[in-house]
Structure 1
Amino acid sequence: MTLACATIPGSKPKQTRLVKAVALALAALSGPALAANGHYVPGVEGIKGPVVPPAGTYYRGYLVHYDFDEITLPNGDTAPLKGNVTALANRFIHITEKKLLGADYGFETIIPVQRNDFDFANSKESGVGDIFVGPVVLGWHGQQWDAVFAAGIWLDTGDYSSTEPASIGKGHKTTMLTLGGTYHFDAAKSWSASALSRYEIKSKQDETGITPGDSWLVEWGLGKRLDNGLELGLVGYDAWQLENSKGVPAGTGKAEKHALGVEAGYFWPSLMLGLNAAYLNEYQVKNGPSGDLFRLTLTKVF
């Protein structure tokens, strides 16, 4: 892992210790995990994220830009290191007419295209990332509530190198389990509260022998749909690495992130098209980068 080009102020001994600490943090986070706590990027869902649509075929394009200007090290110190990640996650969803366990049954896939630019390591990479295949999507619907369960796997299809911090892929597969729900406070469903959780179980990286620790993420949203159709609200996410990564040096610690932001969205029924925009700021981070996330989500109903 090349960090020689990182510009870190201070004396030479202090700089050496800091570079070593950053290297340990990067080893534990493994490449693109700089932008997330696992394969799944937090903050891409918000208001009514757990609501599964009716039977049909859908496309959702998540355009995400993440900027970070410092990294929190395992010992709690911070290093002023800059970088960014820009990604377009192309998600294709098909909800069938079939029922399973009383829920609408569907399946999905996500094909991300991204560019990682880590200034501090002079490392830039772009390309198609790890692809997600989700054979199970279950959606339940009540009079004023919705719930979802889903299961799938992130494949190690993206390019990965242990010596390239900005690698597009992660070098390992991840099983992801999803569970969430939305409650509507009124019969008109103009007020909503939602929470969507993702549990990730990671496999071993063949190149390094490292097995990243399991992680859990919760995205949430509080929304209000106005009479003109515009929906506004507060959004956020909370992410925890639940266990230490195996095969990395001692003292790397677990990652944790908390963010808060705002979202606005509108759906045009005549076009069967929706657009959402969100901004989130990471206000508390442990063992990882701290920054801001900007998101645009395009939804097309076919």
Structure 2
Amino acid sequence: MLLALVLVEPVTAKAQVPISGNYGLGGGLGQTSAIMPPQGTRIVENGWISYSIDRFVDGNGNDLGVGGTSVHAMRLAFKTVVPDVQILGGDYSYGLVLTYRDQVLRPAPGARTAYQIGDTVISPLGLGWHNGAWHTQVSYTFWAPTGRFQAGGAQNTGKGLWSHMFYAGTTWRQQTELPWSATLQARFETFGRQETTNIRPGDVLSIEAAFGKEVAKGVSLGLAAATSFQVSRQSGTPGGDPGKYRINIIGAEVVWKPKALPGFQIASRVGKDFDNRNSTEGVTALLSLAYAF
């Protein structure tokens, strides 16, 4: 499922960094994340995300000395794989993700707010193919600016802009009782201009990989790594455009599908940022509860 956790941006002039992508790196990454479920499947997922920021870093990776903070968010996701419909030989799916957060988009250290709606994620087109142990998926997704945004505001929960993301991924899953699996996927996100500011964030390319093994019936353990970087520079920033950013993350995943609760899945992921540029560094934790029917 798609994660709509938006990375934070500090407000202090000393920590000026470019506007990050809407896609939270690693949020849609898992050992088998490119496998589309069977036709007719509907999925409801609730995810809780915590991002503990240790530091803000400049273009050389140096600590800017601003201090740390944390961001907490929640997502409610829906996905349907349409029965008896194929496009170009692939099964067709669509989805929606509603996001909520208890931290403003541009946080001051120690600041807190009640959960409020963020930007909304809509995926009108997803296609999935299956060929033995190999599974491939492509999709188009866009973010609608439904969260609160005011230029320079301290209580923003949205970014005040539209963005569009194109995704392609493939998963190999061994056809045995306790299989190994591996996934490689790429995402390209491009942006419109931010309302009232005329800032246009730089386009972002994200590459993610994961592998794992089902160690007992319904229990899988995995490792994951990902990198995300701007391929073009932000434009229209008052006072001069900041440099490009880069984010790297490595982590682990545990997935449990309880035998007594068919269709349910519980997943937990933890990731650590490293060697970032013009961004933040910290630890992200995700708890996901999903039901397929």
TM-score band by shorter chain is 0.7 to 0.9
Instruction: Please tell me whether the aligned partners of residues 262 and 280 of structure 1 are also in contact (alpha carbons under 8 angstroms).
Output: yes
Matches within 5 A, 1:206-221: 206-221=195-210
Match of 1:63 in 2: 48
CA deviations over 1:241-269 (Å, ceiling 9, x no partner): 11100112436101111111111111125
Match of 2:64 in 1: 79
1-side partners of 2:10 and 2:88: how far apart?
A: 51
Say if 2:155 is the partner of 1:170: no
Task: Give the alignment partner of residue 95 of structure 1, picking from 50, 57, 81.
Answer: 81
Match of 2:103 in 1: 116
Match of 1:286 in 2: 277
Deviation at 1:275, TM superposition (A): 0.4
Classify 1:203/1:197 alpha carbon distance in 2 versus 1 (closer, same or farther; 3 Å).
same
Give ranges in structure 1 of 5+ residues lacking alignment: 4-18
CA deviations over 1:194-228 (Å, ceiling 9, x no partner): 02222111000022110001101122211100233
Say if 2:252 is the partner of 1:257: no
Deviation at 1:116, TM superposition (A): 1.7
**What residue identity is the alignment partner of 1:100?**
I
2-side partners of 1:227 and 1:287: how far apart?
A: 42
Q: How many residues align?
A: 277
Task: Give the alignment partner of residue 290 of structure 2, picking from 287, 294, 299.
Answer: 299
Deviation at 1:2, TM superposition (A): 9.3
Task: Give the alignment partner of residue 31 of structure 2, picking from 25, 47, 61.
Answer: 47
> What TM-score, normalized by structure 2, do the two folds share?
0.88
Instruction: Please tell me whether the aligned partners of residues 43 and 293 of structure 1 are also in contact (alpha carbons under 8 angstroms).
Output: no
Matches within 5 A, 1:114-153: 114-116=101-103, 118-120=107-109, 122=111, 124=113, 126-153=115-142
Classify 1:125/1:39 alpha carbon distance in 2 versus 1 (closer, same or farther; 3 Å).
farther
1-side partners of 2:241 and 2:142: how far apart?
A: 29
Whose helix fraction is larger, Structure 1's or Structure 2's? 1
Classify 1:2/1:218 alpha carbon distance in 2 versus 1 (closer, same or farther; 3 Å).
closer
1-side partners of 2:94 and 2:151: how far apart?
A: 33
1-side partners of 2:184 and 2:172: how far apart?
A: 9
Instruction: Please tell me whether the aligned partners of residues 125 and 166 of structure 1 are also in contact (alpha carbons under 8 angstroms).
Output: no
Deviation at 1:164, TM superposition (A): 2.8
2-side partners of 1:121 and 1:294: how far apart?
A: 19
Match of 1:224 in 2: 213
1-side partners of 2:10 and 2:97: how far apart?
A: 31
Say if 2:14 is the partner of 1:21: yes
CA deviations over 1:5-29 (Å, ceiling 9, x no partner): xxxxxxxxxxxxxx5331x32xx22
Match of 2:3 in 1: none
Say if 2:224 is the partner of 1:242: no
Instruction: Please tell me whether the aligned partners of residues 218 and 259 of structure 2 are also in contact (alpha carbons under 8 angstroms).
Output: no
Give ranges in structure 2 of 5+ residues lacking alignment: 1-8
1-side partners of 2:111 and 2:137: how far apart?
A: 41
Instruction: Please tell me whether the aligned partners of residues 144 and 189 of structure 1 are also in contact (alpha carbons under 8 angstroms).
Output: no
1-side partners of 2:266 and 2:51: how far apart?
A: 19
Larger gyration radius, structure 1 or structure 2? 1
